[in-house]
Amino acid sequence: MKCDLLVIGSGPGGYRAAVLAALRGLSAVIVEKATWGGCCLNRGCVPKKDWYHSARILNAARRFSKRGIAGALHGDLAQAWRHQRQVVAAVRDSYQSYLKRLGVTALSGQARFEDPHTVVVEPDGTRISPRAVIIATGSTPHVPDGCAVIPGRILHSDLLFDEPVPEGARVVIVGGGVVALEFAYILRAFGREVVWLARQDPFARADFSAPAMKLLRSAMSDAGLVPVRAGVRAVAATAAGVSVTTTGNEVMVADWVLLATGRRPVTAGLDPARAGLNLDAGGHIAVDDEMRAAAGVYAIGDCVAGPMTANRALYEAGVAVDNIVAPGSHKRDLARVPEALYSAIELARVGLTEDQAEDQGHEPGVGFAAFESSPRALGQDAPEGYVRLIADQESGALLGGEVLGAEAGELIHMLTASPSVGALRRIAGAAFNHPSRCEEFQNAVETLAAKWNLGQYVFGGAGDGPRGA
C-alpha cells in the first residue's frame, strides 16, 4: 500500500494530522493498535472534563438557595462514570465518521518500521510505503516501584475510565501532578474522603505565577484538600482494603488507591532504530523544531519530550503537516500553546512568564484585572480569579498571560488567537458584550498601558511605528 502520509496513533495529535493531510489533498492512512481516539478521548481530557463539569455544579449548589433554587443535590459517581462513557462514545463515532468522509484509511494493529521507508502493520502483515510518517503514539501511566495495579483496588488513571469507579468511600491519591490535582477535587466533590499524598509540592509550578498558586492552594484547602507531603514506599491489597506505606513509614488504609504518578512515552513495538530514530534518556523520540525525527519521519505529542497535553499534540500536528506539505515552513513555538488546570479553581496560561521574559532579554510589564468587580462574575457567584497580562515595555508586544477563575480554559483563547505584536491594541480596540468576563482583558490592557507608559502601542498616536501595527 502506498500513501502520502501514514499516521501512527489516533489520539488528538494523530487524528488532527490525518484530517489536515486529507483536507490538503494528501492520501492518508492512520493506524491504531488500541482504542480509537487515544488517551485524550477515552481516558483523559474529554471524560475528565465531563466529570469536572459535574463537580463544579455540585460545589456551586452550596450557593443555589440564595439564587432562589431550592433542593439538595448529591453526587452519584457511578452514574457520572456512565455519562462520561456515553459522551466518549458519541465523540468517537463522530470522529471516525469524519475520517471516513475525508477518505482517510483506518487500520487496526501494531505498526512497526521495517526500514526508513516501509511500515508493517501486525498481525495481518499489511505493508505500507508512505511518503511521510507521523508518529503520535502517546503515553501510558507510570506505576512506581512498590506498587502493583489491581483492578478495583489499586488503579492508575487509565483504569479509572476503563472500569466503573470502585464503591469505597475512602481513597488515597498518590501524586503531585495535574492528574492528582484534578482528581482530588473531582472525587471530593462527589463525596469521597480523599487522602492526598504528594512527594513534591503540587503548588510549586514554575509556569504559573506565585499569586495563581496561592489562590489554588487556598481553594483546595477550602475544599478539604491539603496534600500530605510524603512519597509511597509500598501499596498492597488487604482484607480490610488497601494498605499504603509512606516513605515516612506511616501506614494508611483506604478502600482503594489512585496512582496519579505521571506517564511515560509509548514507543514499544515501533522498532524505531530501523527508521533511524533516536530516543532520549526518558524514552522520548528526539525531534528538531520542525517535528522531524528522521528523513521523512515526524513525531508529535506525548512520545516527544515536553508538556504531556492534548493541546501540544494538536498544535504539533499542524507543525508537522505544514512541513510535510512545504518543507521548512513552520517551526515549533510552544509559547503559543496554552496550558490549563481544572481543579478547585480553574487556571490557564500561555506564552512567557515574567522570569522567562527577563531571561530572553525583555523588560516585562504586568497588567491586571480581577473578576471580583466583574458584573458577570458577580452574577455567576464566581468572583474568584483574575486576568494577568505580561508585555514587553520596549516594543509593546504581548509576551504571555494568565487567567484564573470560571471558564479560564476558554478565556485564554483571547490571547492565543492573536500574534504578540499588536495584540494589546486589538484587545483595547475591540467591542465586547456586556457584561462578560472577556471585558476584563480590555481592563487589564488599559491598566497595563497606564502603568507602564505603553499608550502608543495600545491607543495609537505618537510613536506608533511598525512594531505597534
Q: Specify the length of the chain in residues.
A: 469
Question: Tens of pLDDT along 87-115?
Answer: 999 999 999 999 999 999 999 999 999 99
* Band (145; pLDDT cuts 50, 70, 90): confident
Distance CA 72, CA 415 (A): 39
- One-letter amino acid of 165: V
Q: Is there a shared CATH topology between the 2-141+264-335 domain and the 154-261 domain?
A: yes
Domain layout of the chain by residue ranges:
2-141+264-335, 154-261, 345-468
Mean pLDDT of 382-394: 96
**What is the rounded average pLDDT of the residues 137-165?**
94
So what's the pLDDT on residue 141? 96
The CB-side HSE value for 400 (13 A sphere, CA atoms) comes to: 26
pLDDT at 309: 96
Which amino acid is residue 254, in one-letter code?
A: A
Distance, CA of 244 to CA of 242 (rounded, Å): 7
CA separation, residue 326 to residues 132, 312, 321, 331, 334 (Å): 12, 21, 8, 12, 20
Say what the alpha-carbon torsion angle 29, 32, 36, 42 is, to the nearest 10 degrees. Answer: -140
Fold of 154-261: FAD/NAD(P)-binding domain (3.50.50)
Q: What does pLDDT average to over the chain?
A: 94
CA distance 52 to 294: 40
φ, ψ (nearest 5 deg) of residue 213: -65, -35
Query: With bands split at pLDDT 50, 70 and 90, how would you rate the model's confidence at 283?
Result: very high
Is the pLDDT at 468 greater than 70? The verdict is no
Predicted confidence (pLDDT) at residue 132 exceeds the cutoff of 60: yes
Residue 462 predicted with pLDDT over 60:
no
Tens of pLDDT, residue by residue over 289-323, are: 999 999 999 999 999 999 999 999 999 999 999 99
Predicted confidence (pLDDT) per residue in 411-435, tens digit: 999 999 766 878 999 999 999 999 9
Q: What is the pLDDT of residues 11-52, one digit of tens each?
A: 999 999 999 999 999 999 999 999 999 999 999 999 999 999
**Grid cell in block for residue 226:** 491539603
Strand-strand pairing, 126-135 and 2-8: parallel
Q: How many other CB atoms are there within 10 angstroms of residue 398's CB atom?
A: 28
Using N-to-C axis directions, what is the helix angle for 45-60 and 178-189, rounded to 10°? 40
Just list the catalytic residues: 434
Fold of 345-468: Enolase-like; domain 1 (3.30.390)
Instruction: Say whether domain 2-141+264-335 belongs to CATH 3.50.50.60.
Output: yes
pTM recorded for the entire structure: 0.94
% of the chain at pLDDT higher than 90: 93
pLDDT at 467: 36
Going by pLDDT thresholds of 50, 70 and 90, the confidence category of residue 146 is: confident
